[in-house]
């Protein structure tokens, strides 16, 4: 099992999703785009694609030209039936790659906040069976329209489009459930993340945010493993 991981900053790896893949015996092919790693020319030999978060917008192609090629690769994956999972920036990339608009929302959605399931989630093989709403770590301001044919699976009061599926194997989630304690510790040392949290939540905002995260970390990680494992079960 060979999984292509599209990473956009070193401190946002797949976290508990990676644990699931390694437990299944997968080989991860990591491409860190912000560091200049090159995308593969095609998806030959790739069993699945996982796209993670990052501080940039999908619309920042002038600053990050690789975004255009990444979206083309994601679109090719979906068209070709290659399983796809996108988190945070990853779900926005999926939406944009499939022709939907991604834009800045009215206010940032930042904090440990509840996400609610839609009626369609009850019949979805990944999202069904959990007792929604669930706590999630949110940290974004961009939002997206749903691509043509997408099934909305989760929503929140501030940002109605929180998770969707296209076809049987392409999933995206706006929220974070993959973060482990080591990642949280690293985020606390990134000046840009500290400044971003403080701008939204006030002085000391990142410390409070990570404190809330750690208080509910085990449940969020369990949910992340459950959802991601169910997705892997669809194709592995």
In whole angstroms, give the CA distance from residue 144 to residue 196.
21
Query: What is the predicted pLDDT for the residue at 115?
Result: 97
pTM of the model: 0.95
Report the candidate in 227, 234, 120, 130 with the shortest Cα–Cα distance to residue 174: 227
Residue 192, pLDDT score = 80
Q: How far apart are CA 130 and CA 135, in angstroms?
A: 12
pLDDT of residue 118: 98
pLDDT, tens digit (0-9, with 9 covering 90-100), for 179-190: 988 888 888 888
Token pair listed for 6: 């599209």
Give residue 187's pLDDT: 83
- The CA distance from 30 to 14, in Å, is 10
Phi, then psi, of 145 in degrees rounded to 5: -80, 160
The structure tokens listed for 225 are 């493993």
Q: Computed over its alpha carbons, how large is the radius of gyration of the chain? A: 16
**126 neighbors 151 (Cβ within 8 angstroms):** no
* CATH at 208: 3.40.50.880
Residue 9, both tokens = 């900053």
Instruction: Judge contact between 30 and 49, C-beta under 8 A.
Output: no
- Measured CA to CA in angstroms, residue 130 lies from 133, 158, 230 at distances of 8, 21, 12
Separation CA 194–CA 23 (nearest Å): 33
Nearest Cα to Cα of residue 217 among 170, 184, 169, 171 = 184
Residue 216's pLDDT is 92
pLDDT per residue, tens digit, the chain (236 aa), is 999 999 999 999 999 999 999 999 999 999 999 999 999 999 999 999 999 999 899 999 999 999 999 999 999 999 999 999 999 999 999 999 999 999 999 888 989 999 999 999 999 999 999 999 999 999 898 999 999 999 999 999 999 999 999 999 999 999 999 998 888 888 888 888 888 888 888 998 888 888 998 999 999 999 999 999 999 999 99
Both tokens assigned to 86: 């996108």
> Which residues span the domain enclosing 11?
2-235
| Residue that has been written with the tokens 């090159």 in this structure | 38
> What pLDDT is attached to residue 65?
96
Output the pLDDT for position 64: 96
Place of tokens 């990570």: 210
Number of domains in the chain: 1
Please report the pLDDT score of residue 189 as a whole number.
Answer: 84
β-strand partners of 3: 28, 48
Would you say 8 and 52 are in contact if contact means Cβ atoms under 8 Å apart?
yes
pLDDT recorded at residue 226: 97
């Amino acid at each position: 099992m060979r999984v292509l991981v599209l990473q956009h900053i070193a401190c946002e790896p797949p976290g508990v999703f990676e644990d699931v893949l390694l437990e299944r015996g997968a080989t991860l092919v990591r491409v860190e785009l912000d560091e200049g790693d090159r995308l593969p020319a095609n998806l030959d030999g790739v069993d699945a694609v996982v796209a993670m978060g990052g501080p940039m917008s999908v619309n920042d192609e002038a600053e990050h030209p690789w975004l255009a090629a990444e979206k083309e690769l994601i679109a090719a994956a979906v068209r070709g039936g290659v399983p796809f999972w996108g988190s945070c920036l990853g779900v926005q990339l999926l939406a944009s790659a499939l022709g939907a608009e991604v834009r800045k929302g009215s206010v940032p959605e930042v904090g440990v906040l509840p996400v609610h399931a839609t009626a369609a989630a009850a019949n979805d093989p990944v999202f069904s069976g959990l007792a929604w709403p669930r706590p999630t770590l949110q940290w974004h301001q961009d939002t997206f329209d749903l691509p043509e044919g997408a099934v909305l699976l989760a929503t929140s009061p501030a940002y109605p489009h929180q998770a969707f599926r296209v076809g049987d194997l392409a999933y995206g989630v706006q929220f974070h459930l993959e973060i482990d304690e080591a990642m949280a510790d690293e985020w606390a040392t990134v000046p840009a993340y500290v400044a971003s949290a403080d701008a939204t939540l006030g002085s000391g905002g990142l410390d409070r945010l990570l404190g809330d995260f750690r208080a509910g970390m085990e449940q969020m990680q369990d949910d992340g493993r459950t959802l991601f494992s169910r997705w892997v079960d669809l194709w592995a």
